[in-house]
A and B are shown apart, each in its own frame.
Chain A
Amino acid sequence: MIVRAFIVDGPVTSDAERLLLTREATKKDPRQGPGLVGARVRFEGIVRLEEPRGDAHPGERAAVGELAALAYTAYEPMATGELERIASEVGAAFGVEAIFVLHSRGRVSVGEASFVLIIESAHRGPALRAMSEFIDRMKRDVPIWKMPVWAAKRG
Chain B
Amino acid sequence: MDPRSDKGGRATARTVLDALRIQHRALAFATDGARLAINQRFAQPDSEVREGDEVALISLVGGG
Contacts and interface: CB of A to CB of B under 8 A. Distances in A.
A138 interface: yes
Q: Is the interface of A mostly helix, strand, loop or mixed?
A: mixed
B23 interface: no
Interface residues of A, number: 21
Nearest to A139: B64
B28 to A, nearest CB: 15
Interface stretch (B6-14, B45-53, B54-62): B54-62
A72 interface: yes
Q: Is the interface of B mostly helix, strand, loop or mixed?
A: loop
Contacts of B59: 145
Contacts, number: 45
B13 to A, nearest CB: 15
A144 B40 contact: no
A78 B64 contact: no
A115 B37 contact: no
Interface of B: 37, 40-42, 56, 58-59, 61-64
Interface in A127-141: 135, 138-141
Contacts of A115: 63-64
A77 B37 CA distance: 12
B40 to A, nearest CB: 4
A74 B56 CA distance: 12
A11 to B, nearest CB: 14
B61 A143 contact: yes
A61 to B, nearest CB: 20
A145 B61 contact: yes
Contacts of B41: 78, 81
A79 B40 CA distance: 9
A37 interface: no
Contacts of B61: 139-145
B64 A145 contact: no
26 contacts: A45-B64, A74-B63, A75-B37, A78-B37, A78-B40, A78-B41, A103-B63, A115-B63, A115-B64, A135-B64, A139-B61, A139-B62, A139-B63, A139-B64, A140-B61, A141-B61, A142-B61, A143-B37, A143-B56, A143-B61, A144-B62, A144-B63, A145-B61, A145-B62, A145-B63, A146-B63
